[in-house]
Amino acid sequence: MDAVITGLSAGFAVAFQPFNLSLVLIGCFAGTLIGALPGIGPINGVAILLPIAYGLGLPPESALILLAGIYYGAEYGGRISSILLNVPGDAGAVMTTLDGNPLAKRGEAGRALSLSAVASFFGGTFAVVLMSLSGPALASYAVTFSPSDYVALMVFAFASLASLVGSNSVKTLLAAVMGLMLASIGIDANTGVARYTFGIPDILAGIDFLVVVIGLFGMAELIHLVEQQVTGKLKPLALDKSFVSMKDLAFTKWTILRGSVIGFFIGILPGTGASVASAVAYGTEKRVAPNSENFGKGDIRGLAAPESANNAAAGGAMVPMLTLGIPGSGTTAILLGALLLFNVTPGPLMFEQRPEIAWGLIASMYIGNVALLVINLPLVGLFARLLTIPQQYLTPLIAVLAFIGVYSVVSNPHDLYMITLLGVFGWILRKLDFSLAPVILGFVLGGLFEDNLRRALSISGGDWSILVHSGNAIMLYVLAVVVVVVPIWLGRRKKKAAEA
Amino acid sequence: MADRVFAGAILVIALLYTYIAFTVIKAPFQYDPLGPESWPKLLGIVASLCAIYLIVRPDVERLKADLGTLGRLAVVVVMLLAYGRLFEPLGFLVSTWVFCTAFGIMLGATPLKAFAFGAVTGTVGYFACTRLLELNLPAGLLNHIL
Amino acid sequence: MKLFKTAAAAIIVAGLATPAFAAEITKPECIAPAQPGGGFDLTCRVAQTGLQGQFDTPMQVSFMPGGIGAVAINLFNTTRTDDPNAIVAFSSGSLLNIATGKYGQWTENDVRFLATAGADFGAVVVRADSPYEKLSDLMDAVKADVSSVVFGAGGSVGSQDWMKGALLLRAIEQDPKKMRYVAFDGGGESIAALLGGSIQVYMGDVGEMVSHIGTGKLRILGVMSDERLDAPFADIPTVKEQGYDAEWTILRGFYMGKNVSDDAYNAWVEKFKAAYASEEFAKLQKEKGLLPLNLAGAELDESIKQRIANMREIAREAGLIQ
């Protein structure tokens, strides 16, 4: 404990130097902007800006502080286009659209943006606090998660997401299976066999998640907007000056805490990240929160849960990277590369050999979260103004933003056709009362489920009992049963009480 | 009816998907008992069953969109495809300019305003992304000027 | 209709305006055939920084993910076959894909191999508290019962990560098909699985071990290079010197389209050779976790064709190709 306090205070001394402090602010601001572009999230934001940070010739701790600011900024920025435009800003912000966008459509964009900024702040800070208190212990726990435990985690995830079932459960199932089928395209991760690629090289490595998200959500939304405008159903929004109230915060405090805990623990596991975390947090919240029938129609809890979870997951992902030198996600792999570039070797030795960097980085995460809250709250009004742009300009602008997001990172023009076609498909699904979220969740979770199941069976040599061998797995199966059964039981009891 | 048509299309795809899973996908050798084909087999069968159920018991009768609206939407899709097609050859600036002008006019903006809007979006977008954020956007036609 | 006409006219203009590719290197570009942040990105950064100052304009790095490099090789065999400005990053993984036919019709004869950025080598890694103290302990255990050891690595069956394990088994005349092998998504997940005890042996790379040396959590039983490496790896014996004939070099380098003029190709080769001679380049390789292995031009081309031929043979033996 003493070591933590000494380390942290030394770290804050580094991070509070005016130069480093201004770098945090610049990083947060640039990160927010780049993260707000649909499709460009933390992973690409950091990868793109890394060479610039390196080129500036900054001392290592300053450069890393700048990158951490960008990382967090991009994580915060992802929610903006989700809420305002119904176009997910990045992989972790898909669930944010479900309740965030209905709020904005109802004229409460300011409230949604400010509440989600607070939720993000809480999730992010929660993760940093846990990391500084017990990072190494948590990381050692995270690596004990075996492939069979991941299978159990996926079962739990699907169980909690059963709450997303809409009016027609067969349609929900079909939507999820379509997502799973999309995810099965490409080279099989276990045997290297190409599946459903039909000799097209562009999809050998699978269909890019961002292309699916931007297409199904963003472009479908665009077509939907045009349709509403053509049929005269679209009403212009007045400038909305709503803001988060103390009452909102009091109402969502447990939601935010639950979201942060779920997000953090899923985040520290190598291989699962912000997208899984926010999905599970949303599903669980809908299951356990009282009076949850308005989820998906603009319930602020449905916004607070995924936003606290994805930021907590982003922080959690740093834990195994910093303490063990194991990157658990694409973004942390890039950050690890950045550390190595500056001759800093992450892992247990970093805290001994380069404490100013290790603790300076952690201190800058605290500051970064505060800075983001300070930057984001005043900007809420400005961002909300985006919605007052007349429709004949806003709609083309959405297309332009989506095209920039998809093209600028990978520069493949075929992706531009792909998002348009997926947009048509998404629009048809919406017209036929399918919900799109299960498609995306099937896509995210499907690959993890199949890969880990087959990994577990490779380890056991084909013995299925490996799936229930560990305490972690059994606990998760129990939790899965709980999230499915308890709400049903509660519902029955309520009904009985009403009848009596 | 709309549901049935859609479910029918999905059924065809799902059956094809399942057929491929049962016949084409094979690993030279594998270490897990499932291999690359079991998962797709399962998915294909579930998807086919769901589609059959929807054909038998559809719940959305019509698409609730008249032909005029559908026509307009088709134009939008064509415009988007054209924008994608021209994105690289014309470059971001010019293709965005053209696209925003055309789309803006279609949505009811006056030609002059739409033209100005396209110009601003193309130019500001290009420079903000390539210069400030170091993103990669095609220069296209203006390759030698930009 | 108006739009269509404008568009059609614009396409024609675009076609006319595109200059025929000259033989000079005016806008140097390195193409990383993957998402940002991976090994190909790193390879391109070596060229970008290492050749700095030899061009008037800074080299641009662009990304072209898709099909583990198939999209890029496809493009350079169809439209950009004579582009003198662009070099494309490759690794031994790409060579293996060529050898096993993953790139379809394109083979090693359809591109011009230009130069290397550096190399990395396979490493046999176990947990610090593993019962396998020496490589021979592990190999004896495998010989006694091949199914008693679970191997894991960051690539699928048939990838170069798997190949490293297969080569080890081949060295003691065991069938690689009998290996218990678990494919993870990248090195990070594999090391986590090793530390967590899901797998017993991790077939990794030397470069990624830098951050684990001296932590007391992992033990490297052998490196798969021909000769011992420099510090910090000088104490680790090679697999070969322990009596097992298994070597795996992860080569990182660049290729160009096959119709690039000799002038342009030679100009690039000269620039790389000039860079190899400088101390900064050696420092750069070290920073990027690469070990020096500097080959350019015809020398490289020859070495690569030899490598691919070897890979084909191993792949055929292992039953990956017919």
Per domain, the residue ranges of chain B are 2-56, 67-144
What integer pLDDT is reported at residue C13 of this predicted model?
Answer: 41
Element (H, E) at A354: none
Instruction: Check residue A500 and give its pLDDT.
Output: 65
Q: How far apart (Å, rounded) are the C-alpha atoms in residues C287 and C247?
A: 24
- Rounded to the nearest integer, the mean pLDDT of chain A is 86
Measured between CA atoms, how close is A432 to chain B, in angstroms?
6
Is B134–A48 a contact, with Cβ atoms under 8 angstroms apart? yes
Per-residue H/E/C for chain C: CHHHHHHHHHHHHHHHHCCCCCCCCCCCEEEECCCCCCHHHHHHHHHHHHCCCCCCCCCEEEECCCHHHHHHHHHHHHCCCCCCCEEEEEEHHHHHHHHCCCCCCCCHHHEEEEEEEEEEEEEEEEECCCCCCCHHHHHHHHHHCHHHCEEEECCCCCCHHHHHHHHHHHHCCCCHHHCEEEECCCHHHHHHHHHHCCCCEEEEECHHHHHHCCCCCEEEEEECCCCCCCCCCCCCCECCCCCCCCCCEEEEEEEEECCCCHHHHHHHHHHHHHHHCCHHHHHHHHHCCCECCCCECHHHHHHHHHHHHHHHHHHHHCCCCC
pLDDT range class, residue C4, cuts 50, 70, 90 = very low
- A226-240, A273-287, A425-439, B82-96: which has the minimum mean pLDDT? A226-240
Highest mean pLDDT (candidates A151-165, C138-152, C285-299): C138-152
Mean pLDDT of C122-148: 93
Q: Supply the DSSP symbol for A186.
A: E
Res. C236: pLDDT tops 70: yes
Average pLDDT, chain B: 89
Shortest CA gap C20–chain A (Å): 22
Beta strands C60-63 and C111-127, pairing class: unpaired
Q: For residue A4, what pLDDT is reported? A: 82
> What is the predicted pLDDT for the residue at C18?
40
Mutate to test the interface with C, among B29, B92, B93 (most CBs of C within 10 A): B29
Above 60 in pLDDT, residue C12? no
Is this model's pTM higher than 0.90 or not?
no
- Predicted confidence (pLDDT) per residue in A52-109, tens digit: 777 777 888 888 888 888 888 888 888 998 999 888 888 788 899 999 999 998 889 9
Touching A (3+ Cβ pairs <8 A), the chains are B, C
Residue A407 pLDDT exceeds 60: yes
CA–CA gap between residue A450 and residue A44 (Å, rounded): 26
Residue extent(s) of CATH 3.40.190.150 domains in chain C = 2-119+250-317
pLDDT beyond 80 at B146: no
CB-CB under 8 Å, A412 with C71 = yes
- Between CA A152 and CA A159, with CA A154 as vertex, the angle to 5 degrees is 95
CB of A175 closer than 8 Å to CB of A435: yes
Interface with C, mutate which of B26, B30, B31 (most C CBs under 10 A):
B31
Q: If we measure between CA atoms, which residue out of A72, A73, A94, A70 comes closest to residue A83?
A: A94
Task: Give residue C1's pLDDT.
Answer: 36
Stretch 259-278 of chain C: residues touching chain B, C-beta under 8 Å:
none
Structure tokens at B4: 């049935």
pLDDT, average across residues B59-72: 79
**Nearest-CB residue to C183 (from A190, A345, A347):** A190
Q: Tokens representing C8?
A: 């059609």
Q: What is the ipTM of this complex?
A: 0.92
Structure tokens at A316: 């959690």
* Residue C6, pLDDT score: 42
The C-alpha of C229 sits at a distance from chain B's nearest C-alpha, in angstroms, of 33
Percent of chain C scored above 90 by pLDDT?
40
Taking contacts as CB-CB distances below 8 angstroms, the residues of chain B near A416 are: 83-84, 87
Smallest Cβ–Cβ distance between B89 and the set C3, C11, C177 belongs to: C11
Radius of gyration of chain B (CA): 24
What is the arithmetic mean of pLDDT over A446-470?
90
Name every residue whose Cβ is closer than 8 Å to that of residue B103 and which is 6 or more positions away in sequence: A395, A396, A399, B76, B79, B114
User: Which contiguous run of DSSP H or E holds residue B89?
Assistant: helix B67-90
Residues in chain C: 322
pLDDT class of B133 with cuts at 50, 70, 90:
confident
CB contact under 8 A, A392 and B64: no
For A423, name the nearest residue in chain B, comparing CA atoms only: B77
Does A328 have pLDDT greater than 80? no
pLDDT at A458 over 50: yes
Instruction: Print the domain residue range for A32.
Output: 2-499
Mind listing the pLDDT tens digit for each residue in C16-53?
444 434 457 788 889 988 776 678 888 998 898 888 88
A 10 A CB-CB count for B49 gives 16
Q: Cβ contacts (< 8 Å) between C13 and chain B: which residues?
A: 141
pLDDT, position A349? 75
| Inter-chain touch A451–C185, beta carbons under 8 Å | yes
Q: Say whether residue C180 is in contact with chain B using an 8 A CB cutoff.
A: yes
Domain count, chain A: 1
Name the average pLDDT for chain C: 85
Q: Please write the tens of the pLDDT for every residue from C160-180.
A: 889 999 999 989 988 888 889
Of 3.30.1120.130, 3.40.50.11060, 3.40.50.720, 3.40.190.150, the CATH number of C2-119+250-317 is 3.40.190.150
SS3 of A422-446: HHHHHHHHHHCCCCCHHHHHHHHHH
From CA B3, how far away is CA A154, in angstroms rounded? 31
DSSP summary character for residue A343: T
The CATH T-level fold of domain C120-242 is D-Maltodextrin-Binding Protein; domain 2 (3.40.190)
pLDDT higher for A15 or C300?
C300
What is the average pLDDT across A310-314? 91
Over residues A112-155, the pLDDT tens digits come to 999 999 999 999 999 999 998 887 888 888 888 899 999 999 99
| Cβ atoms A305, A313 nearer than 8 A | no
Residue A380 has pLDDT above 60, yes or no: yes
